[in-house]
Amino acid sequence: MKRIALKGAATVAALLFWVLLWHLVAEKVDLSLVLPAPLEVLERLGDLIRTAEFYEIMGTSLLRVTSGYLAGVFSGVLLGFLAFRIPLFKALVSPMMGVIRATPVASFILVVLLWIHRDGIPGFISFLMVLPIVWQNTLLGFERRDGRLSEMAKVFRFGKLKTLIRVDLPQVLPFVFSSAKAGMGLAWKAGVAAEVLALPKVSIGQMIYNSKMYLETVDLYAWTLAIILISVALEKLVFFLFSRKRGGISVEA
């Protein structure tokens, strides 16, 4: 308990250090257009969160990104399982996943702009960011199962479905959860980047774009701060949902 409190205090102290540094630099620059002061940004964020529009924008963006994220996790698990079961499928899909991982997000966004409606782009980009990570980890999880437990299942005649559900999946899930956690922050950041380029109606990306266009730097910082806070909250939520200890084994791989 004491260790946790100390760790928390250290985090807060580090955060305060950087905010103080930001404040000092902003004071030195003395031009909000270039670098607004932290207090100014906080005040603007305070103004924003008192409007209904803020929640509508945040909610809409979150819905887009989350739907893409969930589709990515689900598809990644399914394709990872199929890749494990069918070597030919693995050989077929592996290069495609490699290409998705290696392609810059901006390139994808611009390419996808030509294919689908702009409202669907952030979700699709989030989906693409999460899919290869979850796919690879799911496959890895299946490949690293304990063969001795599979033998145990065989001699006690578990059958294929029971072996999959009761023996294999509990061993694979830590890998899936680990990638799902890593993918959340990535999906959110890539999703917002997609919004900035695709400019769907009612989106954080559009607000950021407008801030840049009209040189409203304080707004840009306030929206960015909101994105960071949401990102931290989402990662904590995913961490809370996926990190549980069972049998002394952390499902956090």
Partner 1 sequence: MKLKNVKKAYNVPVIKGFSYDFPTKGLFLIRGKSGAGKTTLLRIIAGLEKPDSGKVCLNGEVISVVFQEDRLLPFLTLKENVLIAKKHRDEGKAMALLEKFGLKDAAKQYPAELSGGMRLRGAIVRSLYYGGDVYLWDEPTKELDPENRALVIETIKELSKSALVITVTHDAELTGGIEIELE
> Which residues would be at the binding site for partner 1 (CB under 8 A)?
148-149, 151-152, 154-156, 158, 166-167, 170-171, 246-249
Cβ(83)–Cβ(90) under 8 Å? yes
CA distance 114 to 141: 36
Q: How far is the CB of 170 from partner 1 (least distance, A)?
A: 4
Q: How far is the CB of 155 from partner 1 (least distance, A)?
A: 5
Please say which residue, 154 or 212, places its beta carbon nearer to partner 1.
154
CA distance 185 to 126: 10
CA distance 118 to 190: 14
Q: How far is the CB of 178 from partner 1 (least distance, A)?
A: 16
Residue at token pair 């023996």: 167
Please say which residue, 29 or 249, places its beta carbon nearer to partner 1.
249
Please say which residue, 73 or 173, places its beta carbon nearer to partner 1.
173
Please say which residue, 7 or 154, places its beta carbon nearer to partner 1.
154
Per-residue tokens: 85: 């079961």
Please say which residue, 62 or 167, places its beta carbon nearer to partner 1.
167
Q: How far is the CB of 247 from partner 1 (least distance, A)?
A: 3
Per-residue tokens: 82: 């199929």
Q: How far is the CB of 6 from partner 1 (least distance, A)?
A: 28
CA distance 183 to 132: 10
CA distance 130 to 198: 19
